[in-house]
Amino acid sequence: MIQYSKLQHKKVLVLGLAKSGVAAAELLHQLGAFVTVNDSKPFDENPQAQQLLQKGITVICGRHPEDLLDEGFELIVKNPGIPYTNPIIEDALKREIPVITEVELAYLVSEAPIIGITGTNGKTTTTTLIYDMLKNANRHPLIAGNIGTVACGVAAEATAENVIVTELSSFQLMGTIEFKPKIAILTNLYDAHLDYHGTFEQYAEAKFGITKNQGETDWLIFNAEQEIVKKYASRSKAKKVPFNASGRTEHGISADNTTIYWQGEPYLSRVNIALPGKHNLENILAALAACIIYGCDKSPLEEVLKTFTGVRHRTQFVREWNGRKFYNDSKATNCLATKVALEAFNQPIVLLAGGLDRGHSFEELRESMKNVKAVVAFGDTGERFIEFAKSCGIEKTILAKNVEDAVSLSIPLSEIGDIILLSPACASWDQYKSFEVRGDLFIQEVMNL
């Protein structure tokens, strides 16, 4: 860890705990700041706050006092989920107090270079692929962000021998000032989190934060098939590496049906790549580009691609049973994600779908249902999804009680060579605590067959 001295004796407020708040408070305390933590959960029910108090950190719990900022704070580190419409944040911005997220702290103290990955879809798969490839190439990676340990906690332990691979959300990137990854990746941009950001433009601008401070010695890897991404990439001062999964190009990294190309020259064959789907090919291209830039040899990267079958709950291959292949895509909590999963396969599909009813239409899926031969639906939207499937010309439909029931009901509808795909197109909260719980139960049932 770099001994960063600019925060020593500064009064800093950490707003909101959870993992990121605890890690930020501990790091700030270690850097010599005078830290105050404010969290809405009462102290008696807040073991994290109790832990911080024992370390000598000031803790205010159970409320957000209106006069909190009168204490003279010089910096606020907020939990990424706290919106900028929060009264304390609004008051801080009026007083011109800088507001950051813990990702900024990670950058300030890290001895290790950072590879940052953002975008609407594909972040987790791309991040995991890069980590696995770098690990196989003996580059001593550490994984951080939404799928690993809190970034500032990782950065505090990293040395110059490491490289930090971190998945970054728009919420985290909004709270950066100096943050500058050595290699940045922008996978794609679609409408998302508009309840937080207000407009697509504000959301996209937050994502642009991953490259806004990059210079000529840094790298930006970006999706060259999306005009909106190309528009934002054009504003970056970094060296640019476009990726394109729809055919060979002379610049950057690209792929056709058989081959992946680096700077227009054949790099490796696609024949042994385990991960299916065009969307995953895009993730693979972005990950490969990052590792090539980082100086990795081809062989360890190719070895990972032969065995990597997906991140848990994201078009994850579970097993083959009696000639049927089962895939867990429980993370598909909206139609766009299910559409991407359906388009990843050319074989006949038995689709397991349904969940929390938010009133949205399934029309976005219509053109992607051409390979779906049968549907097993469950949850609040079960009956609605079956009606939609029938309107697409799918005759074989069954209403299941839940995802566990859906697995057994899918078997008689399938044949050798079919894909049985859980891709719900709906959130899980009508029946399950999270999409992870839903996916784990699906896996359990499939493994019990």
Task: Give the residue ranges of the annotated binding site.
Answer: 119-125
- Identify how many contiguous H helices and E strands the chain contains and give both numbers: 16, 20
- In terms of DSSP bridges, do strands 11-15 and 253-255 run parallel, antiparallel, or are they unpaired? unpaired
3-class DSSP state of 265: strand
The letter for the amino acid at 3 is: Q
CB atoms within 10 A of CB 318: 21
Give Rg (Cα) of the chain: 23
Alpha-carbon gap, residue 415 to 446, rounded angstroms: 16
Contact in structure between 364 and 343 (CB atoms under 8 Å): no
Alpha-carbon gap, residue 432 to 338, rounded angstroms: 19
Contact in structure between 148 and 158 (CB atoms under 8 Å): no
User: What's the token pair of residue 80?
Assistant: 């990424």
Alpha-carbon gap, residue 255 to 304, rounded angstroms: 18
- Name the binding residues for ATP: 119-125
Alpha-carbon gap, residue 382 to 401, rounded angstroms: 9
- In terms of DSSP bridges, do strands 349-353 and 183-186 run parallel, antiparallel, or are they unpaired? unpaired
Handedness of CA 314, 123, 355, 348 (dihedral sign): negative
Contact in structure between 243 and 286 (CB atoms under 8 Å): yes
Alpha-carbon gap, residue 171 to 196, rounded angstroms: 9
Is residue 180 exposed (0-12), middle (13-18) or buried (19+ Cβ within 10 Å)? middle
CA angle 403, 362, 332 (to 5 degrees): 45
Nearest Cα neighbor of 385 from 354, 421, 411, 406 is 354
Question: Phi and psi at residue 227, in whole multiples of 5°?
Answer: -60, -40
Alpha-carbon gap, residue 194 to 189, rounded angstroms: 13
Alpha-carbon gap, residue 137 to 196, rounded angstroms: 39
